[in-house]
Structure 1
Amino acid sequence: MTTTSRQRPAATEVDPTGAPPSRGFGLPAASALVVGSVIGTGVFALPSALAAYGPISLIAFGLVTVGALALALTFGALGRRVPGSGGPYLYARDAFGDFAGFVNAWSYWITAWAGNAAIVVAWVGYVEVFWNTSHAKSWSIIIAMVGLWLPAAVNLAGLRSIAAVQVLTTILKFVPLLFMATVGLVFVKSANFGAFNASGGSAIGAISAAGAIALFAYIGIETASVAAGRVRDPQRNVGRATVLGTLACAVVYLLGTVTVFGTVPHDTLTASSAPFTDSANAIFGGRWAGDTIAVAAIVSGLGALVGWSLIVGEISQAAARDRLFPNRFQHESRRGVPAFGIVSGTVLASVLTIVSYSSFAKVFTTVVLLSVLTAVVPYLFSAAAQLYWLVVEGRRLRAGHLVRDVAVSALALAFSFWSLAGSGYQAVYYGLFCILLGIPVYVWLKTTRHEFGETPVGPLATEVGQ
């Protein structure tokens, strides 16, 4: 048996589907893609999870926003350097080779289906405003299964169905958030905020823990880079769309969370499964306003689940096409969607949801921290890839630009490590375990395909060839 070596293909510079660039996303559409992917139901449940730490969590939210913007700028720079679809997976593979690419694809894949479990848990909380108000666990699980498999069915129906649902839900999800982030601020009362640091621990510990939870609200800022092959003038528009989308979400998130903190008493908020509904009811009295927001949150959650169910299939399909996932994942159904990836991801999200309801007291927070940890790994590799290229090719840049870019990517890298540290021991244990499970899969793929080595890439490839 001989050892073989495979040259890694160059980054894709065009839409892999062959669609003309003129039909791709412009800047407004690419920005909307970022916003639509970032805002799901997680933000509708986030104030309750952050309330356990008190208003100090707003500082954490602010720091996370700065870190998210650093990541957004980093993704923009990498998108200009490595054009094509794939995002964090593509950047890691381009800089560090197949194994790093696999780890990122595997970790991002886990983020996508584990994130769906977190989204559906928050979604259940708003469905239970109308039904299963006693929060019976068995009914909560049944509702969650409907919330996971209905979006999967929409995906399996084809891309036209996905587009129609996304347009409708993206419009509706902004209504309650914009209202709470603007008009709702008028009704804020300082007495509702409670103790500044309600965690009882150190301020640094509270900020780190709250920051890890808050990061979940920004997962998805990389989607413009993931779909860069479908964006017109990607070297210009991907970075701008990522930053603009992140800023839009940040304004709505921060001000909306302040409104909820200031309109719902702290003790009530920590126990709430639908904090924005409780806030609207507190502002107007009665139930009609809260019910309206609950309906919008339900619609928003379904839209997010439709989008992320497709992402589960897309990331596994992209890796499979590069021979880094099993071949089964790259096949498409007659409807033109990666059906095997969508179904398998939904099955895994269903299992995680059932286990979470059965084993964890704080279901949403636990699943959020797991998906945050697996998302941070691709973010960390992306920041490291940018630093790597700056070190290798920095002499080509002006000194001022080099200092600026190094500072931004170093901040993104430090932010990623900080997010890892704040995830907590339980999330790190389960997250690292899930990530390391990928190593036997990688070994199996390489050995069955007789690929026992790979040609060096980047600057090292030139040195080896000389």
Structure 2
Amino acid sequence: MSSTDAPQHDSPRLGLISATGLVMGSIVGTGVFTMPAVLAGGGTSSLLVLTVVAVGATLLGVLFGQLTRRVPNADGGLYAYSRHEFGDFAGYLTGWCYWITAWVGNAAIVASWVMYVEALLGLKEPVWWQDWAIALVGLWIPAAVNLIGVRQMAWFENLTVVLKFLPLLFVGIIGWFFVSYGNFGAFNASGGSLYQAIGIAAGVALFAFIGVEVAAITAKRVRNPGRNVGRASVLGTASSAVLYVAVSAAVMGLVPHDVLVGSGTPFVPAFEAILPGAGWAGTLVAALAVVSGIGALNGWTLVTAEVSRAAANDGLFPGFFARTDRKDTPWLGIAVAALLPSALMLWRYSGGSGLAVFTYLVNLSVVTVAIPYFFSACAQLAYLVSRRRRPTGWLLARDLLISGACVLFALWVTAASGYAAVYQATLLLLAGLVPYVFFKARRERTGLCAAPQELPPVQDVDRRWPEAA
């Protein structure tokens, strides 16, 4: 049974405001509260990289809106687009990579979240099991909210979006009156080539924008998806982009460069620079960053479950991911979305902590998400260059430009992420081919897909090369 044929439940729908809140809440998590420190490692050139990535992410938002209008009832967003255009295999690879991105990204968000919880609680040198215990709280509270139902999830998401934007707007506007231009580092502060500096910034910049696609992923739950998915994606991404650039640049000017590059909680010294002598400032921003992280994890837990459910409904993921309760909540998928990053954090915290754990998880998730972006852009490009759509002058040229730019953007982000990240993502992608073998065999046995027809045996012929004339 395909996802479009799955039983439909009369579940609450997200309007444009809630869908935009979901996009912004998923984009703006605790990553933005750690991002300036990572960007500072590359120098002020990182701000240009951030701007380029912001433009690319906004174009992706436009692309996902176009794809949703073309495939409005498909479940799973990026997975559904690739499957619709290229078939089961491409759809599975897209869904597999994006599912990995979702739960690894949750681990990265909670790694940043843990550092701000520690700042809030005054934990200077916590041991690894304390880090892990805090991470478990950050992962399982959003899971519990999602298990209650989508209406409560949307209400909680909108609330946290408002709370998280307060410190960001404060720093992005008021902070500029306290900026000291001597705090900005060199244009290239990586200690290597400019290419290396771009690589440092590209990974964390794209990670900060992962979430542009969540309205498309959850299109099944969005009211009038053909119209609202594209609008929510562009509005949420463009608003986040303006905020990111303004805030990151302000923090770089508020905190001395040598202090910033070693800080896991750069907004704490930034607030203290704006409000010197106010001991409560650092505590306040840490508390708001904690709320921000919970909000981002709340949205991403739903996204992780929805991707696995869509693929399971099509027989391309284990069937238990498709199980739902009377509220149409994929309860087991939500539980797995919290369980996997919990296990990953146990492994990472047993061998490291702080900013090192966050950076590792960011690099891993960036390449795995670039692959679904690439497949989605190619799916739209294939549609545009085929004869299924009649040429419409400048509108066709516009759409071709958007799709082509998104293809190049996904390739550039992959290349800029570095050899180690690409190597690890490739191993994960190849590992995903093994379960696909069994899913495909099961679909053939149950008649959900046609088995490839065997070719007739080759007749015996004289294969000797003809003698030269």
TM-score (norm 1): 0.90
Corresponding residue of 1:440: 434
Separation (CA, whole Å) in 2 of partners of 1:60 and 1:158: 38
Tell whether 2:398 aligns with 1:404: yes
Higher mean alpha-carbon deviation, 445-454 vs 140-149, is at 445-454
Q: Name the SS of the counterpart of 2:176 in structure 1.
A: helix
The correspondence for 1:43, drawn from 25, 32, 35, is 32
Q: Equivalents in 1 of 2:383, 2:93: separation in Å?
A: 19
**3-state SS, counterpart of residue 128 of structure 1:** helix
* 1:326 equivalenced with 2:323 (yes/no): no
Runs of 5+ unmatched residues, structure 2? 452-469
1:300 corresponds to 2:292: yes
Aligned counterpart for 2:258 among listed residues 247, 257, 267: 267
Deviation by residue 1:227-250 (Cα, 9 ceiling, x = unmatched): 223333332222122111111000
What is the Cα deviation at residue 448 of structure 1?
Answer: 3.5
Shift in CA distance, 277/392, structure 1 to aligned 2, threshold 3 Å: same
Residue in structure 1 matched with residue 220 of structure 2 by the alignment: 229
1:94 is paired with a residue whose SS is helix
Any gaps of 5 or more consecutive residues in structure 1?
Answer: 1-7, 457-466
82 and 335 in structure 1: CA distance in 2 versus 1, 3 angstrom threshold: closer
Kindly state the Cα deviation for residue 71 of structure 1 after the two structures are TM-superposed: 1.0
TM-score (norm 2): 0.89
2:147 paired with 1:153: no
User: Do the aligned residues in 1 keep the contact of 2:160 with 2:291 (CA within 8 Å)?
Assistant: yes
Match of 1:127 in 2: 117
Is contact 1:11-1:90 (8 Å) kept? no
Q: How many angstroms does 1:66 deviate by?
A: 1.3
Q: Distance in 1 between matches of 2:450 and 2:38?
A: 47
Is the alpha carbon distance of 1:87 and 1:395 closer, same or farther for their aligned partners in structure 2, counting shifts above 3 Å? closer
Residues 360 and 366, structure 1, Cα contact 8 Å, conserved in 2: no
Q: Deviations over 1:399-421 (max 9, x none)?
A: 21222111111111111011111
1:15-43 Cα distance to aligned partner (Å, 9 max, x none): 94345xxx643333322221122111111
* C-alpha contact 2:21 2:157 (8 A) present in aligned 1: no
Asked whether 1:25 is paired with 2:28, we answer: no
**The structure with more radius of gyration:** 2
* Paired AA for residue 248 in structure 1: S
In the alignment, what sits opposite 2:76?
86
**Which residue number in structure 2 is paired with residue 459 of structure 1?**
none
Aligned residue for 1:130, secondary structure, equals helix
Sort the Cα spacing of 1:276 and 1:108 in 2 relative to 1 into closer, same or farther, 3 A: same
Q: Does 1:344 align with 2:333?
A: no
CA apart distance, 1:307: 1.8
Percent identity (aligned): 47
Alignment-derived partner of residue 360 in structure 2: 366
- 1:198 alignment partner, SS class: coil
Q: Which residue of 2 aligns with 1:54?
A: 43
> Counterpart in 1 of 2:465?
none
Identify which of 175, 183, 202 aligns with 1:184. Answer: 175
Tell me the amino acid that sits aligned with residue 69 of structure 1.
Answer: T
8 Å CA contact 1:16–1:229 kept in 2: the answer is: no
Aligned 8 A contact 1:155 1:162 in 2: yes
Query: Could you tell me which residue of structure 1 aligns to residue 408 of structure 2?
Result: 414
CA distance in 1, matches of 2:400, 2:329: 39
Which of 77, 93, 99 lines up with 2:89 in the alignment? 99
Structure 1: distance between partners of 2:224 and 2:148 = 30
For residue 460 of structure 1, what is the aligned residue in structure 2? none
Give the Cα separation in 2 of the matches to 1:216 and 1:175: 22
Shift of residue 151, structure 1, vs aligned partner: 2.2
* 1:285 has 2:312 as partner: no
